[in-house]
Structure formats: C-alpha cells, structure tokens
Amino acid sequence: MANLGRMTSAEAAAGPGHLLVPLGATEQHGPHLPLDTDSQIANAWANAVAERSSGWIVSPLIPFGSSGEHQGFPGTLSVGVEVLRSLVVELVRSAAHDFDRVVLLSGHGGNFVPVTEATKQLNAEGHDVRCLFPHWPDWADIDAHAGCTETSIMLHLNPDVVQATRIATGQTAPVNELMSVMRSEGIAAVSPSGVLGDPRMASAELGRQLFDDLVARTVNALG
C-alpha cells in the first residue's frame, strides 16, 4: 500500500496513477471521543480502500474542515466553507499533473457542501474527481455525530482513544428536525454535550461491520 507522504518524488513518478485524499476535521466529538475522530476515520478508510484496490496512492490527510457548527466547543478548528472549497479545487488541479483520477474521502459530513461544490467545478474543468462520504444504505439506526455509529467505528479502529466511562446519550431527535436550529445557532443549541445520537450501545464488533461495509462499497464504487 502506497502512502504519498512517505514516497520520494521518483517513486511517485514511477508509481500507480490514482490518488485517494482523506479529508478530516478537528472538532468536538462529545465527552468521550477525540477531536480528530473524523480525521482518524478518513485516514483508516483511505488506507483500507488502497489495500484492497490496485493502483491507488493515499495522500496525506487534510486535518481541517468546515466545522463552524461546532465552534462553541473548545478545541474545534474550522477553516470554513470557502477555504475548504478553494483548497480542494487547488489541490486537485495540482494532483492532476501526476494522477489521472482523484477520489476525496471525507470523514466529516459537514464538509459536504464545499467538497461537492469543488468537485462539480473540477468536473466541469475536465478533471476525473469524485467525493464520497460515509454512507450505509443497508443499515438502520445510523446516527449523526459522536453517537453509536462513530463510537463503534472508533472502538474498532483505535479503542485506546475512546473514554468509555464518559459515554452518555445525546440528542436523539432526527437530524433533519434539528438542522435549521443547528445551522443558525450551532450544535450546542440542540445538544449541550455535542453528541447527536446515543453511543451507549456502541461496540467494536458493530464498528468492524460498519467499517468493512463502507470499505467494501467504496472499493466497488472505484471499480
């Protein structure tokens, strides 16, 4: 499995021609998960996909995203919509000199608008780029943020960083009912703990199943 940051320029020139770019975030994930949860998930996702596919190199992770809705919680570092959109556009234009395909894997759902807009612009410029977000069409009970879904995946990927004694239920109303308040006032207005969902039933085994399903569908999608 090839990791671009650890290759020499000569090795990159001789290597396979497709690039996976993990996009993360640095934002609160409740009292029990670290600020780099989305970054860890994006990195693991990209590396697992590269291991199971031929011809893909993994780019260094982008650790900052569009996380304004989490800004009220200490430790959150957001670059906002416009900077992320520009960053993706410039990065893919640069990558296009050496890579014939680029796939962006975002661990943070809040990156959706800027990354989707950037991808549309790049496609219009003729670049072969697409963006994917964690998505489980065959599963019920996927929750939104620091809930059972993300906590289970972290228990599978890196259990040492999960502070199990601090796990508590968060705001469990459907996200679409909360969206307008979250957009105008931030996540703290609907969930004082920052959790959207209920992580109390999280398990490493569920995390393994969710992660393996995500990786398998991504490998299929890349063909």
CB of 107 to Zn ion, least distance (A): 6
**Residue nearer to Zn ion on the CB measure, 24 or 218:** 24
**Residue nearer to Zn ion on the CB measure, 37 or 59:** 37
Q: How many CA atoms, within 13 angstroms, populate the side-chain half-sphere of residue 186?
A: 15
Q: With CB under 5 A, what is the number of residues at the site for Zn ion? A: 3
Given phi > 0 = left and psi -120 to 50 = alpha, else beta, which region is 216? alpha
CB of 35 to Zn ion, least distance (A): 10
**Gap between the Cα atoms of 142 and 101, Å rounded:** 30
Contacts (Cβ under 8 Å, ≥6 apart) of 155: 162, 202, 203, 204, 207
Q: Kindly identify the residues of this chain, within the stretch 126-165, that bind Zn ion according to CB under 5 A.
A: 150
CB of 157 to Zn ion, least distance (A): 12
CB of 173 to Zn ion, least distance (A): 18
CB 187 within 8 A of CB 129: no
**Gap between the Cα atoms of 73 and 188, Å rounded:** 8
Cα separations in angstroms, 173 against 96, 144, 195, 216, 221: 42, 10, 11, 30, 31
**Residue nearer to Zn ion on the CB measure, 70 or 127:** 70
Q: Quick check: 69 binds Zn ion (CB under 5 A)?
A: no
What string marks each residue from 91 to 130 as x (binds Zn ion by CB under 5 A) or -? Answer: ----------------------------------------
**Residue nearer to Zn ion on the CB measure, 28 or 59:** 28
**Gap between the Cα atoms of 88 and 102, Å rounded:** 11
Q: Kindly identify the residues of this chain, within the stretch 6-65, that bind Zn ion according to CB under 5 A.
A: 37-38
**Residue nearer to Zn ion on the CB measure, 37 or 218:** 37
Binding site for Zn ion (CB under 5 A): 37-38, 150
